Amino acid sequence: MTMPTLRFGLSRREPSRWRSSRLRRRFVPALPIAVLALFVVAAIAAPLLTGYNPVRNSLIHALEPPAWVEGGSSDHLLGTDGFGRDVLTRLLYGARVSFLVVIFSLATAVVIGVGVGIVAGYFGGRVDAVLMRVVDVFLALPPLLVALVVAVVLGPSFRNLVLILGLLIWPNIARLIRGETMALMRRDFVEYPRAIGVPSWSILLRHIFPNILPTLLVAATLEVANVILTEASLSFLGAGLPSPEASWGVMVEDGRALIATGWWVSLFPGIAILVTVLAFNSLGDWLRNRFDPKTRQAQS
């Protein structure tokens, strides 16, 4: 009498766990992807969504509140800043600038990080020791302080900001890719071509690089939030993009002294940064759970 009841209970519980795991893997990324897609579309279509110039001053309209606040106007849905520039317009163009910074910074970091990590993990020995000591030196430096010093020395510009962010991120990617490469070196599909004398460049391109792509995708997605926050911090400190460039960090800095009279100037770009970082972190966590065999086994 006891055994059938016990078996029946397990048969009901295990499919339930399996079904909830499948639902979680399928539907969790829907909201982050929708949010990010909305920001990307808004950034691309910014000239079509607003007729204002993001950097042109109009002091006669300075510090107009949002449309739903007393004294606001439907001409400026999110209000204007201290120079009369439309906040919604700068928010849309700021999304374009922020995403461009992310793309070019990550491209720089991925090229350097993957190159260093895959070479160190494949060749090992002295090559690995030297490259990893270089990585350790970069990781030992305080990122924001280094970025601030370099930005002040080189001057604020889009190119310098991309270069700084790329150089700060690549050590994390290099260390991760090096570990993945070393794990792949013990696999038969890598040991066999090495044993028969296949050139190293062919093994790296045909056998190792395709197998580290899932890990690289997860790492790059999780680093996006770091790039956005660092860019916003540098722009807030005046060492990022030069004003009056429309970027979310610059907008937050512009409204810092207007918190009492123009709270909306900093509030909306701050919310945009928060939502974007949460969306990328959620998407990165889902990708990590999706591609990590240990995590999938624990959830199944």
Gap between the Cα atoms of 115 and 77, Å rounded: 47
Residue 291 three-state SS: helix
Q: What is the DSSP letter of 77?
A: T
User: Is the CA virtual torsion 72, 73, 74, 75 positive or negative?
Assistant: negative
Distance CA 195, CA 191 (A): 6
Q: Which fold has domain 97-299?
A: MetI-like fold (1.10.3720)
| Segment 210-239 mean pLDDT | 85
Name the band, by pLDDT with cuts 50, 70 and 90, for residue 268: very high
How far apart (Å, rounded) are the C-alpha atoms in residues 35 and 293?
Answer: 28
CA dihedral 217→220→224→229, nearest 10 degrees, is: 150
Mean pLDDT (whole number) for 249-262: 84
**CA atoms within a 13 Å half-sphere pointing along the CA-CB vector of 4:** 1
Of 239, 252, 244, 221, nearest to 161 by C-alpha is 239
User: Is 130 buried (19+), middle (13-18) or exposed (0-12) by CB count in 10 A?
Assistant: exposed
Phi, psi of 86 (to 5 degrees): -65, 125
Domain ranges of the chain: 97-299
Rg of the chain over Cα atoms, rounded to whole angstroms, equals 24
Q: pLDDT class for 6, splitting at 50, 70, 90?
A: very low
pLDDT digits (tens, 9 = 90+) for 59-89: 888 888 999 988 888 888 999 998 899 999 9
Average pLDDT over residues 22-30: 57
The contacts of residue 223 (CB under 8 Å, 6+ apart) are 106, 109, 169, 172, 173
Reply yes or no on whether the pLDDT at 107 is more than 90.
Answer: yes
Q: What is the pLDDT of residues 141-172, one digit of tens each?
A: 887 788 778 877 887 788 888 888 888 889 99
